[in-house]
Structure 1
Amino acid sequence: MSVKFKKSYKFALKSSLYITLYCFVLLMPLVLFFTDIAWWMYSLHSVFVFFISFFIIQYRVENFIYRRVKKIYDKVSLLEHTDLRSSAVTTDMQTLTEEIEKFATNKKIEIESLQVREEYRRDYLGNISHEIKTPLYTIQSYLETLQDGAIDDLEIRDQYLERAMSGVDRLTFIIRDLDMISRLEAGNIHLETTVFDIVACVQEVFDFLEYRANKRDITLMFDMKYPKPIYVRGDRDRISQVLTNLVSNSIKYGKNKGTTEVSIEDLIKNKLIIRVTDNGEGIKKEFIPRLFERFFRVDKSGNRKVGGSGLGLSIVKHIVEAHGEHIYVESSFGYGSEFSFTIEKASKEAYEEIMEEE
């Protein structure tokens, strides 16, 4: 308490002491030589002057500081949902200073965060505009050409209609993925959690993408033989989509006659980690933190030959996190990449129980 008192009233104490000493020294010759007042009475009077000075100064300083500082509190709402009290402001200036510094720091962080969000918003709007207008312009150009008379040439008509339809498919693909991400972020997609065999799920993805892989002479394979089912708990359709997107990406950016390998490993007691590894182009280190952003592409040239909506990895991240799991990426530019995600392990008994219920 004594330390707090000294800090709180330091200014008033010093000022009162200076006034008392000044009066004592200045008036002492006059009082002692020209009046009959006793020494002890003069000393008592000095003590009285000290206390009176202290209380007057303290009161005036408190009111002065309080009135002005309260305006600051009112304008910037420094203390939210808290009534400003005189004692809280005026008796501990160190606390006030710390509060103001804290407020300034928080506001600085808030402003920087808003600037980052605004930059992200601009990038996002630019990307989505580019992604949508590309197929739209493609469709428009082919249809206008047909309107100008090319429709009479059956070969050109069929060719241009096919290309226009390809643009429609791409536009539909983008809108579908955008709708899914919006629902995932809003938490509007309900996960149908069940127990299933992850080995069979991976094999189905391989079968689905086999034709696309063969076109680039890429081999889809497991890292080893898995003779027995490995049961996991999650939404089978969503996890299948995660695997499809990851394997599809490895095919898009893989090298001809390359490989895409899936491995299933124990992580901890009740977790597995699924790894999708390729020996393709790889990703530069500076791009890795942004891989899961919507529409982010490593290829800054705007090349769209690899296809896709640019939303695949963002969807993967949202689905994995919706399961309460984590996704990781490791890549060495020029040597390949590895995407991995965790998933909850389940027992054979849990699988059989669900099968019986169905």
Structure 2
Amino acid sequence: MLHTARAVAILLALSVAGITAAFLSLVDGVSSLGVLVSFLVAGAATYLLSFITLEFFIFREINHIHEVLHKLKKKDLSFLQEASAKDTRNPLRRINQEIFNFAGLKQREIEELKRMADFRREFLADVSHELKTPIFAAQGYIYTLLDGAADDEAVRTRFLQKAANSLDGLDVLVQDLLMLSQLETKQIRMYYSYFNLAELIRAVFDQMEGKAESQGIALRLPADFPEQLWVWADKQRIQQVITNLTSNAIKYSNDSPEGGGWVEAQVREEGDRIRVLIKDNGRGIPAEHLNRIFERFYRVEKSRAKVSGGTGLGLAIVKHILEAHKSQIDVQSEVGKGSVFSFRLKKRKDKRSRSQQTELAE
């Protein structure tokens, strides 16, 4: 483009200088030297102005547009990092900027489509694996009974109970999937009210005490744990969050390398928010897994999935419930020392009548 701009500038300069010299030669009293000087001055001035205009305002921008289009054909989008959002009056530069913006939008769309395609493939594989286990188990017990084992009353009762347990697990999985789908599509609305968070945490710990004791896990609250701590949230959903986090902590605290596993709940006031922390002294989570533990069916140790139980959807449900509360779940973990899951809720600022306490979230 440099040579093209120079060639066009030379042609324009010669044309303008020639016309100027020809016109002056027709004027009486103008010497040949004057005509020559006019020719040179007009030619030089026209060349400089034409070259600068063509090179910096037209040909350079056209060349840039050509390079961008060439890279788009090759699906090379590295040029997106060079895009500038500066305002300009140059129409060609604005066109170039529009190409940058369009390419950036398409690149993000392509990346999102790839991410969703990968997610769908993983989800289908995971849900197929999770569904087939209880279905095959129930099928096995029922077909065994049909093949003649039903004649033995003791075997019949035991196998029917095992088949029922497998179907119960399948029902829990389907219900969790349905709830997660409704949360993601915002079909489940949050019903906010003021409630005593401290009382709710105690109720959850009392409810899960039997499960914890059966696995040798101690559920504990700090000595300064408050009697009352009022927050503004959906009580039923927050109860589900605390239950899922506590159940998850119990599940992995029995892996404590030191023995004597424990799970502890703490609360902290942070301005107009209350932070809830669920701590355990289990094996902890490796750093490379922390960004993925809230995905559906994701388990840090695949080999222990069935031994540990659960649907693999608990933390994903927790994440979406808290996002609906304009909050988020945070996790800190150290291998060999345990994990801390925490989230924040709005605390009560003023007192309201009971008739005003419960309303439907917008």
Q: TM-score, length-normalised on structure 2? A: 0.76
Contact 1:194/1:354 (8 A) holds in 2: no
Contact 1:224/1:263 (8 A) holds in 2: no
Q: 1:161 to 1:317 in 2, by over 3 A?
A: same
* Residue 261 of structure 1 pairs with residue 260 of structure 2: no
Residue correspondence of structure 1 range 208-247 to structure 2 within 5 A? 208-226=207-225, 228-247=227-246
Query: Counterpart of 2:326?
Result: 324
* Residue 337 of structure 1 pairs with residue 339 of structure 2: yes
* Residue 288 of structure 1 pairs with residue 282 of structure 2: no
Deviations 1:257-297 (A, max 9, x none): 311100111112x1010000011121111111101111101
Contact 2:296/2:316 (8 A) holds in 1: yes
Query: Counterpart of 1:166?
Result: 165
Query: Counterpart of 2:308?
Result: 306
Query: Counterpart of 1:15?
Result: 8
**How far off is 1:165 after superposition?**
0.7
Query: Counterpart of 2:129?
Result: 130
Query: Counterpart of 1:182?
Result: 181
Contact 2:294/2:316 (8 A) holds in 1: yes
**How far off is 1:142 after superposition?**
0.9
Distance 2:46 2:279 in 1: 82
% identical equivalent positions: 34
Structure 1 unaligned residues grouped into runs of 5+: 1-8, 77-86
**How far off is 1:224 after superposition?**
2.2
Deviations 1:305-357 (A, max 9, x none): 2211110001001111111112110111121111111011115734xx22787
Distance 1:209 1:316 in 2: 17
**How far off is 1:14 after superposition?**
6.3
Distance 1:196 1:278 in 2: 26
Contact 2:198/2:226 (8 A) holds in 1: no
Residue 112 of structure 1 aligns with an amino acid whose one-letter code is: E
Query: Counterpart of 2:81?
Result: none
SS at match of 2:189: coil
SS at match of 1:128: helix
SS at match of 1:292: coil
SS at match of 1:338: strand
Residue 284 of structure 1 aligns with an amino acid whose one-letter code is: P
The RMSD of aligned alpha carbons is: 3.9
Distance 1:261 1:48 in 2: 88
* Residue 157 of structure 1 pairs with residue 156 of structure 2: yes
Q: 1:304 to 1:357 in 2, by over 3 A?
A: closer
SS at match of 1:321: helix
Deviations 1:31-72 (A, max 9, x none): x9xxx99454566677888999999x97xx89xx79x97xx7
Query: Counterpart of 1:84?
Result: none
Q: 1:342 to 1:23 in 2, by over 3 A?
A: closer
Q: 1:266 to 1:10 in 2, by over 3 A?
A: farther
Contact 1:254/1:279 (8 A) holds in 2: yes
Structure 2 unaligned residues grouped into runs of 5+: 74-89
Distance 1:259 1:109 in 2: 45
Distance 2:355 2:230 in 1: 13
**Aligned residue pair count:** 320
Distance 2:357 2:38 in 1: 96
**How far off is 1:177 after superposition?**
0.8
Residue 161 of structure 2 aligns with an amino acid whose one-letter code is: E
Which segment is superposed worse, 194-203 or 253-262? 253-262
Q: 1:344 to 1:10 in 2, by over 3 A?
A: farther
Q: TM-score, length-normalised on structure 1? A: 0.76
Contact 1:195/1:354 (8 A) holds in 2: no
Q: 1:244 to 1:357 in 2, by over 3 A?
A: closer
Query: Counterpart of 2:86?
Result: none
Query: Counterpart of 1:4?
Result: none
